[in-house]
């Protein structure tokens, strides 16, 4: 999920991360992605989002797949997310950027409709996004659950290329799997599996992406 009203200490953490070399979009997309998953061995994913546009999440066997560069992913759920992109940020030098070079902030449901985020502002942070509602804004009930920050792991170079073509304002469908990522240089990196956990640690979705589609309505 998105991380709302981050406290000063979190901003300080973000500043330190920047100084340690996290690179963003201004450097352009990376071309040395490590991931090349054999998608033929993976279980099926939902074809579309669920009722009301909510992400569709279905259980799968805890299959482990090699990602490359010393990383491995364990599948938690098959997952399909449809919504509108509100932020994007690329990474080159953080511990997982070899397999997860891109974050997309996406809103779904009522917020993905034309004008649905007019009263909201969004800002990216290293592997996090903050959002703020204008004073007195009237927003749909439960709107906080309709915003997601997604750490994306392209399954192969063609998916990577498709993700690089996604822009803020696009309506997209992402298909793949929520995963736990392990590697030699990281502690286990576990995806959120809930929509109501707005936290700085563990509140984002980590998606092994096998399919990308830009839907009608881009730029709304």
CB 79 within 8 A of CB 108: no
In which residue ranges of the chain is pLDDT below 70? 1-32, 34, 198-202, 217-220
Strand partners, 172: 83, 214
Angle (CA) 161 217 204, round 5°:
60
- Note the pLDDT of residue 188: 95
Q: How many domains does the chain have?
A: 1
Q: Which domain holds residue 94?
A: 8-215
Tell me how far CA of residue 149 lies from CA of 42, 59, 95, 135, 191, in angstroms.
24, 21, 18, 23, 11
Q: Tell me whether residue 220 is in a domain.
A: no
How many residues in total does the chain contain?
Answer: 220
- Note the pLDDT of residue 126: 83
- Supply the pTM of this predicted model: 0.85
Q: Which residues, at least 6 apart from 143, have a Cβ–Cβ distance to it below 8 Å?
A: 110, 111
Cβ atoms within 10 Å, residue 201: 10
Q: Which of 210, 212, 161 is nearest to 41 (CA)?
A: 210
| 122-147 pLDDT tens trace | 998 888 888 889 998 899 888 989 99
CB 108 within 8 A of CB 142: no
Q: Please name the residue that has the structure tokens 């805890």.
A: 62
Q: Tell me whether residue 1 is in a domain.
A: no
């Amino acid at each position: 999920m998105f991380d709302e009203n981050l406290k000063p200490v979190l901003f300080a953490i973000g500043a330190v991360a920047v100084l340690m070399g996290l690179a963003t979009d201004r450097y352009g997309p990376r071309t040395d992605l490590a991931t090349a998953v054999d998608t033929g061995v993976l279980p099926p994913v939902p074809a579309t989002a669920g009722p009301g546009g909510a992400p569709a999440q279905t259980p799968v066997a805890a299959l482990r797949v090699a990602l490359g560069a010393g990383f491995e992913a364990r599948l938690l759920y098959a997952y399909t997310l449809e919504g509108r992109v509100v932020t994007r940020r690329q990474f080159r030098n953080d511990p997982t950027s070899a397999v997860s070079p891109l974050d997309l902030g996406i809103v779904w449901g009522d917020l993905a409709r034309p004008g649905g985020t007019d009263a909201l502002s969004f800002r990216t942070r290293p592997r996090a996004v903050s959002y703020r509602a204008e004073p007195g804004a009237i927003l749909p009930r439960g709107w906080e659950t309709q915003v997601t920050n997604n750490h994306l792991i392209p399954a192969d170079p063609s998916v990577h290329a498709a993700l690089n073509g996604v822009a803020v304002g696009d309506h997209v469908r992402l298909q793949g799997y929520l995963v736990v990522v392990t590697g030699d240089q990281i502690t286990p990196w576990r995806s959120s599996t809930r929509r109501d956990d707005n936290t700085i640690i563990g509140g984002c979705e980590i998606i092994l992406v096998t399919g990308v589609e830009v839907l009608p309505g881009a730029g709304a």
